[in-house]
Amino acid sequence: MRHPDVPESLDSWHILHRMFRFERRAFDALAAERRRGIAEEARVHLETQASAADADAGLAQLLGHKSDLMLTHYAKSFDELGAAQTAFDKLELAAYCTPQTSYVSILELGLYEATGKIHADLRDRGLKPHAQEWNDAFDAALAEQANAPRNAARLWAKIPQRRYVCFYPMDKKRGEAVNWYQLPYEDRARLMLDHGKIGRSFHGLVTQVISGSIGFDDWEWGVDLYADDPLVFKKLIYEMRFDEASAKYAAFGQFYTGMQFSISELDRYLEGDAIPQLRAAREPALR
């Protein structure tokens, strides 16, 4: 049963972020031939996943003390995420990667504006909320949204191939002073429309991946930002601080920031003699 005050979303990739501390001194103590073997095994495994049509994998060197390495998995089901997690943990490299934290979510496209239009159309057609005819018409309208060319491309885009990445979780406040979920639908839709305008003003400078995590992890959403210049993260997030939807109703978790690098560069990261690079993108980044 669909509640008329609940905005719908289109959902696609199941996403697992894993942050590790890399035990560099222990790895460095290994013989060179063993280090090469460990790196090659992991590279082949992750490149196989990244090249699959129904999965993806990405690596980033993180800055600061919270973690050293971020591994991002995309899969089409939780079961496949579980298989990816287990397969990585069976690699020899996993013995030198100590888990620090993780995040489970599902990529989503929010449909505040579209949901409102669908509700209005169904009301104009005289359909009663929660009746079977109303539910069937709503499902058909959502299917149209999912098949729209722009939405379809965004839903199943692979991990954006841009050098810098910033990941953080967030909530909408629901405390005693303010409660996002008690606002009328029209007010929430207006605030999200204004919020989206800020993001669109950075079009071409940043690629944003929003994933829903209500019921999956400690926060309600995970946000990945990808850019060719890390200063974009500061400018975008700072500007959003002045937006009412963020200033009044948002709460944020820890931020993880670093440099995304190609899986083929994994040996460089492990050896630590050079900064691993992001090589030619596999496909154009979605902006």
What amino acid positions are annotated as catalytic residues? 168
Q: Hey, what long-range contacts does 281-286 have (CB within 8 A, 24 or more apart)? A: 281/161, 282/50, 282/51, 282/158, 282/161, 283/158, 283/161, 285/160, 285/161, 285/162, 285/207, 285/226, 286/153, 286/154, 286/157, 286/160, 286/207
Report the DSSP beta bridge partners of residue 209. 224
CA distances (Å), origin 246, targets 46, 146, 194: 36, 27, 11
Distance CA 225, CA 22 (A): 23
Q: Which residues contact 218 (CB under 8 A, 6 or more apart)?
A: 169, 253
